């Protein structure tokens, strides 16, 4: 009988569970209230918390405004869309122009016309209508083996398709936003047919099925699995900082390739104000702060990214890796070609 009762009460508890949760959440998450609160700002972030935490902490210290964060890579924009008018989000932080564009197209961002921000950021790093802002730039570069690739042996993205590299190239998945943006830039410069031929040839040159992240490609060079790899430039700094990964970085040299004899392909990390921001004033303060000198310097020094604010110099370390001219194709054009680029990767079965 005792056992009967135990199970019975267990079940009761289970059935009541939902009710209890309903009551408890108000305490636990502070929701159910209006989200507008003095001295708080709510951030939906597609970037990993540890990358942006230092800037957010510095912001709180300076302004006394508390920053609440939800981090998720996928689904944040869907969440904003569903929450609609009552969404608690004030500011959206993300990497990749494609994601910024998604937010704009989903209609979840507000238009921001702010003098401070517009002074801090050159026009090329923001949407003309003020719907998104590029905080930092990163270059998609070629990592080349110091031992097996002569300096100057490869200088452009187009050369990745050269048969001489057969079985010598490593990249991450062709569906990753960073690669998709690069493929889109190729379409933008050369047209779809030529770009597709190029990508098909690059695939022929791959040493292995695309896998792992950008750093894993550099590691593969170190291990002799391939000779050149495509990756974002700041990973070089991150690898140098990491005891285990430093040997990987030491085995490669950096090439800032050209696209169509122009500049190097770049992408941005950026921000936007949420359309129904309950704390628009605080949101604006945070956005100004992130474009300001202190935060931009932190981006440069801690994350090895190129600050968008021209007043802020590149980190010395980053400068020592080499300089480059960015590709002149606009970010908006790249964002627009993203669909085509993804399908192109499917057609040549890049990941297969």
Interface residues for other proteins in 94-133 (CB under 8 A)?
102, 105
For position 219 contacting other proteins by CB under 8 A, the verdict is: yes
For other proteins, the binding residue among 146, 166, 209, 319 (CB under 8 A) is 209
Output b/e per residue, 120-151; b: 16+ Cβ within 10 A: bbeeebbbeebbbbbbbbbbbbbbbbeeebee
- Name which of residues 163 to 182 contact other proteins (CB under 8 A): 173, 175, 177, 180
By C-alpha distance, which of 159, 162, 126 is closest to 332?
Answer: 126
| Residue 227 in the binding site for other proteins (CB under 8 A) | no
260 contacts other proteins (rule: CB under 8 A) = no
Residue 75 binds other proteins, judged by CB under 8 A = yes
**Smallest gap, in angstroms, from Cβ of residue 315 to other proteins?**
20
- Are 248 and 58 in contact by the 8 Å Cβ rule? The answer is no
Q: Which stretch binds other proteins (CB under 8 A): 32-40, 119-127, 252-260, 292-300?
A: 32-40
Q: Are 244 and 184 in contact (CB under 8 A)?
A: no
Whole-angstrom distance, CA of residue 273 vs CA of residue 271: 7
Among 111, 211, 323, 330, binds other proteins (CB under 8 A): 211
Contact 44, 79 (CB under 8 A): yes
Residue 95 near residue 70 (C-beta atoms within 8 A): no
Size of the site for other proteins (CB under 8 A): 77
Q: Which position among 38, 39, 57, 84 is part of the footprint of other proteins (CB under 8 A)?
A: 84
In the complex, minimum distance from the CB of residue 247 to other proteins, in angstroms, rounded to a whole number: 10
Measured from the CB of residue 151, what is the shortest distance to other proteins in angstroms?
23
Q: Is 70 in the site for other proteins (CB under 8 A)?
A: yes
Nearest to 349 by CA among 147, 151, 188, 200: 200
Q: Which two tokens stand for residue 29?
A: 């998450």
Reduced to 3 states (helix: H, G, I; strand: E, B; else coil), residue 254 is: strand
Nearer to other proteins (CB atom), residue 53 or residue 330: 53
Q: Kindly state the smallest distance separating residue 63's Cβ from other proteins, in Å.
A: 18
Between 55 and 312, whose beta carbon lies closer to other proteins? 55
Q: Give the separation between CA 294 and CA 54, rounded to whole angstroms.
A: 11
Is 87 one of the binding residues for other proteins (CB under 8 A)? yes
Q: Which of 38, 39, 62, 82 binds other proteins (CB under 8 A)?
A: 82
At a CB cut-off of 8 Å and minimum separation 6, what does 323 contact? 256
From 60, 63, 68, 118, residue interacting with other proteins (rule: CB under 8 A): 68
Owner of token pair 């100057």: 152
Site string for other proteins, 277-316 (x = CB under 8 A): ----------------------------------------
DSSP state, residue 169: E
Enter the DSSP assignment of 156: B
Best CA proximity match to 252, nearest among 147, 130, 117: 147
Stretch touching other proteins by CB under 8 A, among 152-160, 241-249, 292-300, 301-309: 241-249
- With binding defined as CB under 8 A, does residue 319 bind other proteins? no
Please select the residue that binds other proteins; options are 31, 294, 323, 330, rule is CB under 8 A.
31
Among 63, 79, 116, 155, binds other proteins (CB under 8 A): 79
Task: State how far the Cα of 336 lies from the Cα of 327, in Å rounded to an integer.
Answer: 16
- Binding other proteins (rule: CB under 8 A), the pick from 119, 124, 197, 242 is 242
Choose which of 57, 62, 72, 310 interacts with other proteins (CB under 8 A).
72
**CB closer to other proteins out of 187 and 255:** 187
Q: How far is C-alpha 71 from the geometric centre of its chain's CA atoms?
A: 13
d(CA 233, CA 217): 13
| Residue found under tokens 């098909």 | 200
The least CB distance from residue 1 to other proteins, in Å, is 8
Q: Which of 275, 266, 273, 314 has the alpha carbon at shortest distance from 290?
A: 273
């Amino acid at each position: 009988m005792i056992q009967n009762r135990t199970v019975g009460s267990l079940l009761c508890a289970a059935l009541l569970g939902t009710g209890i949760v309903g009551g408890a959440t108000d305490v636990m998450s502070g929701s159910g209230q209006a989200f507008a609160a003095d001295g708080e700002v709510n951030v939906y972030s597609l970037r990993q918390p540890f990358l942006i935490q230092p800037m957010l902490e510095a912001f709180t210290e300076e302004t006394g405004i508390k920053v609440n964060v939800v981090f998720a890579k996928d689904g944040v924009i869907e969440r904003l869309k569903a929450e609609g008018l009552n969404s608690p989000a004030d500011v959206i932080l993300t990497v990749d122009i494609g994601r910024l564009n998604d937010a704009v197209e989903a209609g979840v961002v507000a238009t921001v016309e702010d003098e401070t921000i517009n002074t801090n950021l050159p026009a090329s790093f923001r949407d003309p209508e003020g719907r998104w802002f590029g905080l930092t730039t990163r270059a998609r570069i070629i990592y080349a083996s110091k031992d097996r690739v002569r300096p100057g042996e490869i200088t452009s993205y187009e050369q990745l398709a050269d048969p001489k590299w057969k079985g010598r190239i490593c990249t991450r998945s062709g569906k990753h936003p960073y690669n998709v943006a690069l493929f889109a830039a190729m379409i933008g410069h050369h047209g779809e047919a030529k770009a597709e031929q190029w990508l098909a040839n690059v695939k022929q040159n791959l040493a292995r099925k695309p896998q792992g992240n950008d750093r894993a490609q550099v590691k593969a060079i170190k291990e002799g699995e391939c000779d050149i790899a495509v990756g974002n430039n700041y990973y070089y700094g991150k690898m140098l900082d990491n005891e285990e990964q430093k040997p990987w970085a030491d085995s490669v040299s950096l090439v800032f390739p050209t696209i169509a004899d122009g500049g190097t392909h770049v992408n941005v990390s950026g921000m936007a104000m949420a359309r129904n921001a309950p704390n628009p004033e605080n949101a604006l303060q945070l956005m100004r702060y992130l474009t300001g000198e202190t935060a931009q310097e932190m981006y440069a020094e801690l994350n090895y990214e190129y600050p968008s604010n021209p007043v802020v110099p590149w980190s010395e370390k980053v400068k020592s890796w080499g300089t480059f001219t960015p590709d002149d194709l606009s970010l908006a054009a790249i964002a627009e070609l993203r669909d085509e680029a993804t399908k192109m990767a499917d057609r040549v079965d890049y990941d297969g």
